Amino acid sequence: MAEFTLELNDDQKQVRDWLHGFAADVIRPAASEWDEREETPWPVIQEAAKVGIYSLDFYAQQFFDPTGLGIPMAMEELFWGDAGIALSIVGTGLAAVGVLANGTEEQIGTWIPQMYGDANDVKVAAFCSSEPDAGSDVASMRTRAVYDQAKDEWVLNGTKTWATNGGIANVHVVVAVVDAEVGSKGHASFIVPPDTPGLSQGQKFKKHGIRASHTAEVVLEDVRVPGHCLLGGKEKLDQRLARAHERAASGDGERVKNAAMATFEASRPAVGAMAVGTARAAYEVALDYAKTRTQFGRPIIDNQGVAFQLADMRTQIDAARLLVWRASWMAAAGKPFESAEGSMSKLYASETAKKVTAQAIQILGGNGFTREYPVERMHRDAAIYTIFEGTSEIQRLVIARTLSGMPIR
């Protein structure tokens, strides 16, 4: 019988400990400053690049870990350090996943290296899907891409919002409508190369949490990109659109994944791992505080009201990690999410992060409500996990539809 284990192998443990050391020694000391500044922490990203964490090679090694645990392990450790800075370090990954999920081998080899730059000249990338009127409702997307056959160029017009690294990125990956008649099936992804005329940064958002991560609108005004910047190529797109029209004409309700959904489906367990890292960080602060804080002559952890909260927090964190690991292993093994396991992992982990960070503040009492202690920042950061890359409500909808086979609304 094949051996079953949940233990990381020696190589994975070595990487985990290396990442944990970077998070403890470099990310955490800088966390409060960059949260207050609400600016991209370029010096920290540069340090990550120098040691090899912010690089295509590192993420490729973790992505191709045959167990599937490389990426979630990395995300948990970095976000244990600080969510805002960690998102600045890993935010480029969403654009890279967009290319990996939809691009050709040539596009992958051409564009992903340009997203990262090198240790001496770091770059970032942005994945642009959400719009002012099209967040969870991707079918309402208004950004259009029109093909100019004479010049073999695509012309993009529209406004994207909530784009991590939007406007400051070297490479933007933009999801746009190419055929409105087939709804979300008529979407495609495009590379917008560096310094392309017509792309500009709109409003930069001042956020509740993850404030060290740059989030902004991206405005596209007659942005022209070469035909080879269509991810997957035009032949593949034309075939997909033809199938979508055939199904629409025949009344076949078979679902076809669009470019944005393929990216989010691949990244949901990783977002769950981010949430686990933030929750674990808050739990550890609360546990240490409860052991050292004395009231009425004894540590507050001696009180069941506090001890039971910590027991629940740890249990929920471990359960969330197991859901993330299961989904990540399934993805690496090529097993389909027949019960929406990817959405399950993000849903439970993100809700756990919100709950655990709130409990950590409660255990610290008045101190937890101040910026002298990090749990206040962690609680603000945790709020995003139930919102971006599919809200908790959308995750429940995906799970319910998958389990029932019904078009639940």
The whole-angstrom separation of Cα 27 and Cα 20 is 10
Task: With beta carbons less than 8 A apart as the criterion, state whether 124 and 115 touch.
Answer: yes
- Residue 192, judged by CB atoms within 10 A of its CB (0-12, 13-18, 19+), counts as buried
Exposure b/e, 119-153, CB count within 10 A at least 16 = b: eeebbbbbbbbbbeebbeebeebebebeeeeeeeb
Q: Which of 47, 76, 217, 389 is catalytic?
A: 389
3-state secondary structure the chain: CCCCCCCCCHHHHHHHHHHHHHHHHHHHHHHHHHHHHCCCCHHHHHHHHHHCCCCHHHHHHHHCCCCCCHHHHHHHHHHHHCHHHHHHHHCHHHHHHHHHHHCCHHHHHHHHHHHHEECCEECCEEEECCECCECCCHHHCCCEEEEECCCCEEEEEEEEEEEECCCCCCEEEEEEECCHHHHHHHEEEEEECCCCCCEEEEEECCCCCCCCCCEEEEEEEEEEEEHHHECCCHHHHHHHHHHHHHHHHHCCCCCCCCHHHHHHHHHHHHHHHHHHHHHHHHHHHHHHHHHHCEECCEEHHHCHHHHHHHHHHHHHHHHHHHHHHHHHHHHHCCCCCCCCHHHHHHHHHHHHHHHHHHHHHHHHHHHHHCCCCCHHHHHHHHHHHHCCCCCHHHHHHHHHHHHHCCCCC
Task: With beta carbons less than 8 A apart as the criterion, state whether 125 and 92 touch.
Answer: yes
Name the residue among 223, 232, 239, 245 with its Cα closest to residue 148.
223
Q: Is 389 a catalytic residue?
A: yes
Task: With beta carbons less than 8 A apart as the criterion, state whether 205 and 162 touch.
Answer: yes
Which are the catalytic amino acids?
389
